[in-house]
Chains A and B, each alone.
Chain A
Amino acid sequence: MKKLESTGSKINRRRSLKRIGDGIIPTAFLIILILIWYIIVENGIVERFMLPSPIDVITTLYEILPEIRLHLIVTLAQALYGFVLAIIFSIVLAILMDNIGILKRALYPLLVISQTIPILVLAPLFAMWFGFGMLPKIIVVALVCFFPIIVSLLEGFDSVDRDLLNLMKSMGASRLKIFTLVKFPASMINFFTGLKVAATYCIMAAFIGEWMGGKAGLGLYMMRAKKSMGIDRVFAVVLLVVILSMLLFKLVSILQKHLMPWSNEE
Chain B
Amino acid sequence: MSIYQKNKLFVKNIYKSFDEILVVDNVSIELKENEFVSLLGPSGSGKSTIFNIISGLVKPDEGEVLIEDVDFTGKSGRVSYMYQKDLLLSWKKIIDNVALPLVIKGIKKKEAREMVKKYFEIFGLEGFEYKYPFQLSGGMRQRAALMRTYMFSEDIILLDEPFGGLDAITKGRMQSWLLDVLKTLNASILFITHDIDEAIFLSDRIYILSERPAQIKAEIKVDIPRPRNNDIVTTSRFNEIKKNIMEML
Check if A262 sits within 8 Å of B101, measured CB to CB. no
Question: A34 at the A/B interface (Cβ < 8 Å)?
Answer: no
- Of all chain A residues, the one with the shortest Cβ separation from B84 is A163
Q: Which of A171, A263, A266 contacts B152 (CB 8 A)?
A: A171
User: Smallest Cβ distance from B157 to chain A, in angstroms?
Assistant: 12
Residues of chain A contacted by B79 (CB below 8 angstroms): 170
- Of all chain A residues, the one with the shortest Cβ separation from B77 is A172
Check if A177 sits within 8 Å of B134, measured CB to CB. no
- Tally inter-chain residue pairs, CB-CB below 8 A: 61
Check if B55 sits within 8 Å of A170, measured CB to CB. yes
Q: Give the secondary structure class of B's interface.
A: loop
Check if B104 sits within 8 Å of A171, measured CB to CB. yes
Residues of chain A contacted by B134 (CB below 8 angstroms): 262, 265-266
Interface centre among A169, A170, A186 (most CB of B within 10 A): A170
- Of all chain A residues, the one with the shortest Cβ separation from B151 is A171
Check if B104 sits within 8 Å of A173, measured CB to CB. yes
- A:154-205 near B, CB below 8 Å: 161, 163-164, 166-173, 177, 181-182, 185-186, 188
Check if A170 sits within 8 Å of B100, measured CB to CB. no
User: Smallest Cβ distance from B107 to chain A, in angstroms?
Assistant: 12
Residues of chain B contacted by A169 (CB below 8 angstroms): 57, 76
Check if A163 sits within 8 Å of B87, measured CB to CB. yes
Known: A167-B81, A168-B104, A181-B103. A161 touches B87 (CB 8 A): yes
Check if A262 sits within 8 Å of B90, measured CB to CB. yes
Question: A120 at the A/B interface (Cβ < 8 Å)?
Answer: no
Question: B132 at the A/B interface (Cβ < 8 Å)?
Answer: yes
Check if A186 sits within 8 Å of B81, measured CB to CB. no
Known: A260-B91, A261-B132. A170 touches B104 (CB 8 A): no
Known: A171-B101, A171-B104, A262-B134. A164 touches B76 (CB 8 A): no
Check if B104 sits within 8 Å of A172, measured CB to CB. yes
Q: How far is the CA of A170 from the CA of B72 in the complex (A)?
A: 12
Q: How far is the CA of A47 from the CA of B109 in the complex (A)?
A: 68
User: Smallest Cβ distance from A238 to chain B, in angstroms?
Assistant: 39
Residues of chain A contacted by B135 (CB below 8 angstroms): 265
Q: How far is the CA of A186 from the CA of B88 in the complex (A)?
A: 11
User: Smallest Cβ distance from B166 to chain A, in angstroms?
Assistant: 15
Check if A262 sits within 8 Å of B56, measured CB to CB. no
Q: How far is the CA of A180 from the CA of B101 in the complex (A)?
A: 14
Q: Which of A166, A185, A260, A266 contacts B89 (CB 8 A)?
A: A185
Residues of chain B contacted by A266 (CB below 8 angstroms): 90, 134
Q: Which of B56, B85, B90, B103 contacts A170 (CB 8 A)?
A: B56
Known: A262-B132, A262-B134. A163 touches B83 (CB 8 A): yes
Known: A163-B85, A181-B103, A261-B132. A170 touches B91 (CB 8 A): no
Known: A170-B56, A171-B104, A262-B90; 15 extra A-B contacts, CB below 8 A, are A161-B87, A163-B83, A163-B87, A170-B57, A170-B81, A171-B77, A171-B81, A172-B105, A185-B89, A185-B92, A260-B91, A261-B132, A262-B133, A263-B90, A266-B90
